[in-house]
Structures are given as C-alpha cells and as structure tokens.
Structure 1
C-alpha cells in the first residue's frame, strides 16, 4: 500500500514537473542569480573599515542607515535586516525586467508566480534570457520594453543588499528608493501590483521629503533639489497619464474591420504627439528661471504601449493615496500606514 502511495506521489511530481517545467526552469535561474549576489555581498562593517573604499561612498552607506532608521522610527516601516550588506556591481547592471502590452490596447501581459502572485513584468538576472523573452513576446504580437532595475525587494525572503549603483544617487533619490523598497517589505498585497507600486511610490516620496527636511532643513540644497525634481516629475507623470487616456480612447474606436494600416498610422501619430508635447513641460528651480526639459524619446525611438502600461501600473493611483492620507487621517502618516497594514492582507 505504501509503495503504491509513493509511486502515485512520484507520478504526480513527474506530471507537475512536465506541466510547470518552464516555471521551474525560470525559478531555478532566478534563484541562481539571487544567490550569486548574496554569496558575493560584504558586511557593511567590513566595507566601512576598508581603507581602499572611497570616503564619499562610505558616507552614502551611512546615510542609508539613517534613512532606514527614520523609516522604521518615524514612518512605521517594519524593521528588517535589509541594507546591512553591500554588493559591488562593478559598473554593470544585474537585473532587467520585461514588460509587454497588447498591441492595440493598454493591457499588460501578466505572469503568475507561486506564493507572490501575479506580476505585470518578469525579471531576469541574465540579459540574454531577457532578450530571448522579448523576442518571443514580439513574435506573439506584443509591444515590449526592457528596463534595467536599480533595486528590488525580496519581500523578506532574503536580506536585500545595498547595491553599488545606489551610491551614485543624490540624497533625495536615495531616500526615496530605500523607503520605496522597504515599503514593499512592510506591505505587499498578492495579485495587486498596481496597488503595491503606487503605495511604495507614495510612501517613498513622502518619506524622502520628510527625512530631508528633518536632516538638512526645509530650505537646504538637498531638500530644494529634491522638490524641484518632484515638480517636473509630477508634471511629466500627469502628461503621460493623460496620454494613456487618449490612447485608451483611440483603441476603443478600433474594431475587427479596422484595417491594420489605419491602426498603425493612428496609433503612432498619437504617440508621437504625446512625446512631442513633453517639450512644453518645464520646471522652475527655487533660485532661477524655468528650465525646459529635454525629451526622452525621438521620432526614431518612440515609446510603445509597454511604456504607457508601465505608467498606469506605477503612477495611476497617486492621488488616491494622497487624498486618503490628507482627508481621512489629517496627514498623520503613522496612523495611515497602521490602517493600511490592518486593512490589506500582506504576504
């Protein structure tokens, strides 16, 4: 009897292995990439004691520790052992994410992963594997985009290291990044990537400004530079989100009888118009006149639907969080975060 049960279990394992062979292979590849990084990290004490390591970068490492303490003590972020080790990238990217969207609809392709749920992107530690996935998606008719990743959260499964590329950031950018990733480790709702990313963006930006103000002062160069970047960033986000709404309206006019040529022509004309009008956006630094920003794309390199669905994922709910925080919680952030933790089940 026991033998029959064991044979049955073995049969089930074989069937599942065949059925999920692609997912298992991807998981193994990602595990290897993650463990390669973890194996080559250095304790911060060792890095800070290394006479050959530049003092300017040591100061950034110490700043990250201040940011982390502030996030835990003043914002209510869960304490963790993240950012207590260091990984030197030697100037090379270490992670890429693939994003894909339907060709004539702003609908992101989603990937299902055990435990952590559904994601509208897929990460790779090997550029060649990422390019292979891009080619496969293009052959299936998707618009695609490949992004380099500057940081990520393992949601408490591993001890996330400080990456050497982080140390190139300004004080404000660094604070926003660290608090963003720590937020994922505090509250991450399964199968709701848009909620998770919008929340982490909101907390990261709010926390960064509060940290800079407390440490350097409201009129300090670090705080004012960060505010200047946010002014333009918000204008750009609003512009792109307006563009997504225009694209949604355009795609709604397409039907099975609409010729492919017409779809392509109207789609790219509208995207070109959205990109062209980015040039009208400008920001006014605290101590000088407005500065128009250079466009991020040109006519030979227009963004496709994968770029726009990324904005919908990361930025569409910002006003929701801001309004809830200000109107229901009277800008009491600790109370607001405690409410979110209690209300939304996290991994």
Structure 2
C-alpha cells in the first residue's frame, strides 16, 4: 500500500488551531521517543520488538553505507504512540477531476493533503471539503518526514505504527522518508513523492537481495506482487477517469455523460478488485482503500507513481551509482516544474522503448 508522508510545518501557519495541533502532536511524539539502546536494555521490552529494533538499526546503517542516504539522528530512536497511525491525512478533489486541492505552508510550500494528529479533526476537515462540493477522503499515515529540520532535537523516530510491518516494507519506508532529506522541492508534490518512491523501490530491492533470508524474500515477493497488481488496476482506472474528465462538448451534456461514465468506471474498478481479491485467496489489505475510492484517493496515489519510471531510468543512466543519481536529481530540480517532469517522462519512454 501507499506509504504517504506528512511534511509537518513547524515554522508558521495562518490557521492558529491547525498550527497548534501540529506543534503539540509532534512534540508529544518526540517526548515519547527513546534511543534504541534504551529499549534494548529495558527488560520489559518484548522480544519481538527488540528483534525489530535491531533489524531497523541494521536497515538504518544499510541506508547510509549502501544507499548514501543521510547519516544523522533520524530513526535512531523509537516511540510507541499507543495507536495505529501517527497522523491522518485529508485529500480532496473536484467531482470531475483528479487534481488535488492544495494547502500551502511556509518553507514546505503547497501539498495536496492536510495532516492531523487527531482522526476526528481530520474527519471534520474532510466533511468541510465535502460541504464545499469536493470529494474527500481520510487515510491513516504510518510515518512522516520533517525533512531533517528536527535532527537537532533527536530526528524522526521509528514508530510502533510501522515497526512490525513485513521487513521489506520497513526498509522501504525508512528509505522513502530519508530520501526527503536528500532533496525536497517546494510546491512539487509529484516530483518529491515520485523521487522518494523510486528510492524506496530501488533501495528496497537491494536490501532484500543482500540482507533478507530466502524465506523473507519469497514472502515479500508474494506481498509485493499483490501490490503491483493493485497499482496496475488503479493506474488503469486513473487513465480511464482522466479520459472521461477531458471529454469535449457543451458543459451540461459533458457533465451528464461524465457522471454516467464515471459511475460505470468505478463499478468496473470494484468488480475487477473483487476478482483480484479472490485470486489472492481473500487477502483484504486494500479493502479500506477501495471502500472510499474517489477522485481524491486516485489523485493522491498518482503523486506517488507518476514520475517513478523516469527516476528509475535516471538511476540506470547514472550507472546505478547513488551519489551521481542524487546529483542528477538535484540538477533536474533546478529546472522549471513542467520541464523536469517532461524530461523524466522522456527518460522513461526511452528506456521502455
């Protein structure tokens, strides 16, 4: 499933209440975090958690030595938040568009989601977006990145919200979040998330090949195969929706046709998912996503997928060398947004061809 990131802004916000919940929520998280060695030395720490913390520590070292990701305070501590998610994100989009509503913050710029440390607050925000005529969804987030801004006070910690994920997923998540500390471009969510997703996929594959047991690699391969099938289904559905929403013609007629075609596309999507689920023996990991699927959820997922093939092609072009790959990405980030996106798409097409 997706591993979305809340780029928490602690530098200012016009909405005082929202700013306050962000600051207090993050502060509580930081207060709950203790160094990994403290947890390992505590006799009350469950054995399963001890094993996972040792594994995560090895993954963190791998991220530095093999992937050349930042070597700093992040993910050197652990916190148990006593809940399933660290934050809840709200996404919203128009009835006939996959373009996400954006919220803008100092430094981080504009992003297509708004995060809350309270699920009730997130649901209230989603309802407000629906009242304004948008489609909205709320989803729980297992981790987020502060872009390295908080390393001086301990950095982003490991969390109970993801520490017991399949080992390959924990590795991918860590690599994804750390990549945001390599580069973050304000106002370009698709570029940022696609870059981080490319790093997590490439780095995760390398970690599995070098560090995982044969049984672990097989278990993860089975898990990832289901995810890739689901992503293909959602990508095809997004393409159909984009085509529907771009229909020409008089506005009234177009909207009538769009509504009918949209409804049919969503029915087809859910029917195809039911077939996939049956082929997986009833695996239900994507049920919650499918249940609330709408323009907002499809739009959010696109940010994590759209430019990934281009970044992967760039990695190959740079000789699969992480430092030169990061330098190339930083150079690309200096170009205008449309230009860098177009170049990534061209690289992907050339590799595919």
| TM class, shorter-length | 0.7 to 0.9
**Which residue number corresponds to residue 57 of structure 1?**
49
Residues 275, 297 of structure 1: 8 Å contact kept: no
Do the aligned partners of residues 192 and 235 (structure 1) sit closer, same or farther apart at CA in structure 2, a change above 3 Å counting? Answer: same
Structure 2 unaligned spans of 5+: 1-11, 335-353
Aligned length: 316
> Whole-Å Cα distance in 2 between the matches of residues 318 and 281 of structure 1?
24
Please, which of 288, 296, 299 is the counterpart of residue 306 of structure 1? 296
Residues 179, 207 of structure 1: 8 Å contact kept: yes
Please, which of 175, 181, 186 is the counterpart of residue 190 of structure 1? 186
Matched, 1:323 2:318: no
Q: Kindly name which structure, 1 or 2, has the bigger radius of gyration based on alpha carbons.
A: 1
Structure 1 unaligned spans of 5+: 1-19, 284-289
Report the CA distance between 1:85 and its aligned residue: 1.7
Do the aligned partners of residues 235 and 212 (structure 1) sit closer, same or farther apart at CA in structure 2, a change above 3 Å counting? Answer: same
> Whole-Å Cα distance in 2 between the matches of residues 291 and 129 of structure 1?
35
Q: After superposition, where does 1:162-181 map in structure 2 within 5 Å?
A: 162-181=158-177
Report the CA distance between 1:302 and its aligned residue: 5.4
* Partner SS, residue 144 of structure 1: strand
Report the CA distance between 1:262 and its aligned residue: 5.0
**Which residue number corresponds to residue 42 of structure 1?**
34
Q: After superposition, where does 1:93-172 map in structure 2 within 5 Å?
A: 93-158=85-150, 159-172=155-168
TM-score (norm 2): 0.82
Report the CA distance between 1:74 and its aligned residue: 1.1
Residues 13, 19 of structure 2: 8 Å contact kept: no
**Which residue number corresponds to residue 232 of structure 1?**
226
Please, which of 199, 204, 224 is the counterpart of residue 203 of structure 1? 199
Residues 209, 226 of structure 1: 8 Å contact kept: no
Residues 87, 161 of structure 1: 8 Å contact kept: yes
TM-score (norm 1): 0.84
> Whole-Å Cα distance in 1 between the matches of residues 183 and 13 of structure 2?
31
Report the CA distance between 1:87 and its aligned residue: 1.1
Report the CA distance between 1:210 and its aligned residue: 0.9
Report the CA distance between 1:76 and its aligned residue: 1.3
Residues 189, 196 of structure 1: 8 Å contact kept: yes
Q: Following TM superposition, where does structure 1 have runs of at least 4 consecutive aligned residues deviating by more than 3 angstroms? A: 259-265, 279-283, 290-298
Report the CA distance between 1:342 and its aligned residue: 4.6
Please, which of 240, 246, 254 is the counterpart of residue 246 of structure 1? 240
Residues 87, 118 of structure 2: 8 Å contact kept: yes
**Which residue number corresponds to residue 6 of structure 2?**
none
> Whole-Å Cα distance in 2 between the matches of residues 324 and 21 of structure 1?
36
Do the aligned partners of residues 162 and 294 (structure 1) sit closer, same or farther apart at CA in structure 2, a change above 3 Å counting? Answer: closer
Between 1:191-200 and 1:265-274, the stretch displaced more is 265-274
Report the CA distance between 1:46 and its aligned residue: 1.6
Do the aligned partners of residues 100 and 183 (structure 1) sit closer, same or farther apart at CA in structure 2, a change above 3 Å counting? Answer: same
**Which residue number corresponds to residue 84 of structure 1?**
76
Report the CA distance between 1:291 and its aligned residue: 4.0
> Whole-Å Cα distance in 2 between the matches of residues 281 and 338 of structure 1?
40
Q: CA RMSD in A?
A: 2.4
Report the CA distance between 1:341 and its aligned residue: 3.5
Do the aligned partners of residues 92 and 230 (structure 1) sit closer, same or farther apart at CA in structure 2, a change above 3 Å counting? Answer: closer
**Which residue number corresponds to residue 337 of structure 2?**
none
